[in-house]
Amino acid sequence: MQWLNLGCKGIKDVDSTQERNQWVDDSIAQNKWLIEMWHDVNKEEFLNHSYQELVIHEAKEHIAHIVKRQQEGKLWIASFTEAVRYIYERQTASISVERVSDELWKLSLTKGITEKDNRFDMPLTVRIDIQERCDIANIHYDDGRMEKIQVSEDGVALVELLPGHSAMLKIGNKTSLL
């Protein structure tokens, strides 16, 4: 099923929790959106054979898998409103990434909407491909906050940045950034 040009799965389009869990794992592996449509969850004794009815223990098993994948940092779960805000911001914002020195990057994310429109304040994930080998980075936001960020083995840092804001990313190793 296609819905707003995004793939959609009816929760009972398949018969097993293992198949539903595979949807989640496939969406992570393919870096794609997954929209699950749930209609009715019931206890075994109250099943009334309604449209796409799911037994409560199946729902709990599937949700446990989703929560596990989210806790691993591999899955973003959002309401429809949050997802639409994210899509809108991503389509209208523009990013500037400038390498200032060997260890310092300047990031700016401009709003694609008017500066006075604060309806869309969802942080966007900016992917920085760092050429050098390092394990950690510090991100200094323009509002004074500072966070440590893990750099993946393949040299990727993921930074959350609000449209209309900027930050400085300093890369290094665990001892150089203490």
- For 23-34, how does the pLDDT look when each residue is reduced to its tens digit (9 = 90+)? 999 999 988 888
Give Cα 39 distance to the centre of its chain: 25
Boundary residue ending a domain (77, 103, 127): 77
- Domain range spanning residue 154? 93-172
User: Which residues make beta-bridge pairs with 112?
Assistant: none
* pLDDT for the residue 41: 86
Helix (H, G, I), strand (E, B) or coil at 8: strand
Q: Do the domain assignments include residue 41?
A: yes
Q: What is the reported pLDDT for 178?
A: 44
Q: Read off the pLDDT of residues 76-124 as tens digits, 9 standing for 90 and up.
A: 888 888 887 777 777 778 888 888 988 888 999 887 665 566 666 678 8
pLDDT at 177: 47
Arithmetic mean of pLDDT, 148-167: 84
Q: Where do we find the tokens 């008017």?
A: 114
Q: What angle do CA 122, 128, 129 make, to 5 degrees?
A: 155
Q: Which of 168, 66, 176 is nearest to 126 (CA)?
A: 168
Cα–Cα distance for residue pair 58/54, rounded to 1 Å: 7
CATH of the domain at 153: 2.60.40
Residue range 34-90, pLDDT digits in tens:
889 888 888 776 667 777 788 899 999 999 999 999 998 888 888 888 887 777 777
Higher local confidence (pLDDT), 60 or 161:
60
103 and 149 share a domain? Answer: yes
- The number of distinct structural domains making up the chain is 2
Distance from C-alpha of 109 to C-alpha of 56, rounded to nearest angstrom: 43
Q: Do 28 and 98 share a domain, yes or no?
A: no
Question: Does residue 56 sit in the same domain as residue 101?
Answer: no
How many C-beta atoms lie closer than 10 Å to residue 45's C-beta?
A: 5
